[in-house]
Amino acid sequence: VSLTLVAEHLLAADEPGPFELVNPEGRSSIVLVCDHASNRVPRSLGTLGLDEEQLQSHIAWDPGSAELARKLSAKLDATLLLSNYSRLIIDCNRSPGEADSIPAQSAGIEIPGNQDLTEQDANQRRQQLFDPYQQAISNLLDSRNSGSTKLLSIHSFTPVLNQQQRPWAMGVCYDHSKNWARKMLRELRKRTEEMIGDNQPYSVEDDIDYTIPVQGEKRGLSSVMLEMRQDKLRDDVAVQRWCNLIAECCG
């Protein structure tokens, strides 16, 4: 019998909490969430056995998504919740217990710190990172007590996947909220020559995604996920330009 020592607290007292709440009094009907905002790893988990380049890469987070979400929050006067830790610790947009919730490998890279985790390890990550983030979204949505609230989730995607160049600058991704998504698509396509994906590069699916189906759609809220290609968010000026465009089109 091998015993694994699990620290009681994943996060030290001087580390950020599991999530960040921005503009809690925002007056927009839109609530923004950013599941993959950060590549931070709790010190108690070291580097997960990865090098700095791997921890900076898209396997750890959605680069640029937090900047875009923050600018949108300011532009729309919308409340925003961001996860403060890497998706490699536990993915805040996957159901806990699923294989990709705590990935043993991602994009062909083995994650040494995620091999052979005990149930206790996995529960600790869930209870100290995933649950508080999702609970904050629940609390926020429940406190608004309004059927007019819409949930907009901000992600980014890598320009190349499996040697395939992805042509969309941005994707409007949805499942049940077709009216809102299609309106957004129409408005975006009126205003830009860039290719805007309709459920590309991803769609939203009940058995893959978590935040949109569970937090938004189960509450009956219009819920859409925006995916921005990462090279479109390369600097502040570019991020602001996309922010302004999205703000014009997401009403």
Instruction: Report the site for Zn ion in 120-149 (rule: CB under 5 A).
Output: none
Closest contact distance (angstroms) between CB of 128 and Zn ion is 21
Q: Bridge partners of 228? A: 156, 170
DSSP SS3 for 165:
strand
Residues 6+ positions from 53 with CB-CB distance below 8 Å:
none
- Tell me the window of 4-12, 17-25, 57-65, 183-191 that interacts with Zn ion (CB under 5 A): 57-65
- CB-nearer residue toward Zn ion: 71 or 155: 155
Please select the residue that binds Zn ion; options are 11, 36, 125, 129, rule is CB under 5 A: 36
Closest contact distance (angstroms) between CB of 36 and Zn ion is 4
- Tell me the window of 2-10, 60-68, 171-179, 236-244 that interacts with Zn ion (CB under 5 A): 60-68
Handedness of CA 200, 206, 211, 214 (dihedral sign): positive
Task: Write out the H or E segment, with its range, that includes residue 152.
Answer: strand 150-157
Closest contact distance (angstroms) between CB of 227 and Zn ion is 7
Residues 190, 245: contact at Cβ < 8 Å?
A: no
Angle separating helix axes 236-249 and 65-76, nearest 10 degrees: 50
Residue 156 buriedness (CB in 10 A; 0-12 / 13-18 / 19+): buried
Q: Is 27 left (phi over 0), alpha (psi -120 to 50) or beta?
A: alpha
- CB-nearer residue toward Zn ion: 13 or 105: 105
- Tell me the window of 7-15, 29-37, 41-49, 168-176 that interacts with Zn ion (CB under 5 A): 29-37
Instruction: Report the site for Zn ion in 154-173 (rule: CB under 5 A).
Output: 155
Cα 118 → chain centroid = 26
Please report whether residue 62 would count as binding Zn ion according to CB under 5 A.
yes
- Tell me the window of 36-44, 48-56, 104-112, 230-238 that interacts with Zn ion (CB under 5 A): 36-44
Closest contact distance (angstroms) between CB of 4 and Zn ion is 30
Contact residues for Zn ion (CB under 5 A)?
36, 62, 155
